[in-house]
Amino acid sequence: MGDRNHVHDLVLNDKPDNPRTQFLYDDVLHNIFLLGLPSNVANHPHGSFMLNVSQVCRVWRNVALSDPNLWTELVWDPFEDRVELIDKPNDEKMTLLYRHYLSRSQDLPLSIDIHSPSLNSSTSFHQVLEMTLSMPVQRRLRQFSICCEDVDLDPTRSYMIINAPLLESLVVDIVDTQTSGGEFFVDISLSPRLRTIYLTGQVRLSTNYTRTPPQASLTGLTLLTTTSSGNYWMRGEILLELLRRFPSLDTITFDLQVDTVRVDTFQRPALPFTVAPNLVSMHLRFNENPISTANEIFKRLDLPKLHKLILDYNFSPIHLFNLLHTWSDVKCLRKLEDLTIHYGFTEEMAEDLARDEEIVSLLRLTPSLINLAIRDVPLSGRILDALATNPKLNSKSDSPRTELVCPNLEFVIIESADQSFGQFPIPASAEVGLNKSRHYMRISLPSSRHELYPPS
């Protein structure tokens, strides 16, 4: 096709100073080129037909500029190659490009992706964000994604998504730099078409959805926040409320933070039992003491289709033991096929070094497990002994043998707090043990024996 800049000039009708058509993204150029290809050439396996690029671009230039469908996907990313066509850091030109796309797309639904990787709040970034969040544009949003740092946002301004009736996918990732910066506010009560939500960092979710009818469209929800205010919605009862309001959810990732002022929330009898009929995957992250919150959540949850569970505790193993009394009555655990436990072990947990028997107790409640990952946990050998299929293996270990647990396991990842033992497949006939004196994982198969040493 020749030099890209030459083709770019051809599409612009050799008028690079024309502000109305100066900036065309590469994907638009690609669409223009495909529109101009004769069908017999486009389908030719070798592309041997000589095509006059200049003629194609000139013929279809007006068609492309007049077709609003080609201008509905807007990407503002200062580090994209396409911006090399613009003299950086010319904010005025970049803003003009963005405004030109909005104009060309007419009234069609928009997909907008904004990235500002620590540019310290450039003028163009603020102008682009202001245009995007304006009510006329916000009501046209079909997909919206923004990724920036909180310092990129003006702390004196309000950034809100509150009226986006066409919105289907929402990603707001505001990195918390622990400095003075802005905050995003999201209200999803007027977005009935939403299918996926991903909110992280300095983002606050409105609780207006509690006053709206249940929404059947939402299937994926991720809420991970570091905002110091608005923790009320982060508590367990809000998780239950979300599961009730969005019955089609199949995946949820959620931070569970206990309100330090109102820790007696679950003592109120008004909290109803919750059924999440379609939830397949749940990831819970605890940033405060999880005991009261997690216990009460699982007492009020029915998850008939749950197959994958991820628990990020950031606490010592003893906390898991306190949850077992509640989980022993949860039928969904018997159907779990994928389990990840991440403790976030620290030196302060040294007194709990030998408490991995709680994990073994949990494994006894999950006979259907296929995939198991245990990360950052102090190991004494009980977990590996519990997974062993041959009592003659690992004869040097003084850990007592137990009956077979998790007979369907096919893949295991075990990373101890002090050493990583790697990952390995476990066939049905595999034998697993731990030689504590030499600190390595040993897998013995019927035909051979493999020794996996941890990294030094």
pLDDT in tens, 275-325: 899 999 999 887 655 555 666 677 778 888 999 998 887 655 556 656 655
pLDDT score, position 233: 41
pLDDT in tens, 53-67: 555 666 666 666 778
Greatest mean pLDDT range, 23-32, 102-111, 148-157:
102-111
For the whole model, what pTM was predicted?
A: 0.70
- Model confidence at 135, in pLDDT bands (50, 70, 90)? very high
- Model confidence at 212, in pLDDT bands (50, 70, 90)? low
pLDDT score, position 45: 46
pLDDT score, position 170: 94
Please, which residues have CB within 8 angstroms of residue 149's CB and are 6 or more apart in sequence? Answer: 116, 117, 118, 174, 175, 177, 181
Classified as helix, coil or strand, 59 is helix
Altogether, the residues listed in the chain come to a count of 456
pLDDT score, position 109: 95
Mean pLDDT to the nearest integer, 62-87: 67
- Model confidence at 264, in pLDDT bands (50, 70, 90)? very low
Please, which residues have CB within 8 angstroms of residue 6's CB and are 6 or more apart in sequence? Answer: none
Which single residue is written with the structure tokens 């963005």? 98
Residue 130 CA to residue 66 CA, distance in Å, equals 26
Is pLDDT larger for residue 177 or for residue 219?
A: 219
Q: Give which of 244, 234, 358 is closest to 287, Cα–Cα.
A: 234
- Model confidence at 169, in pLDDT bands (50, 70, 90)? very high
Q: Give which of 398, 402, 327, 406 is closest to 373, Cα–Cα.
A: 406
Please, which residues have CB within 8 angstroms of residue 140's CB and are 6 or more apart in sequence? Answer: 107, 108, 109, 110, 166
Residue 221 CA to residue 203 CA, distance in Å, equals 14
- E strands, 234-370, in order: 251-256, 274-275, 281-286, 301-302, 308-312, 338-342
Classified as helix, coil or strand, 416 is strand
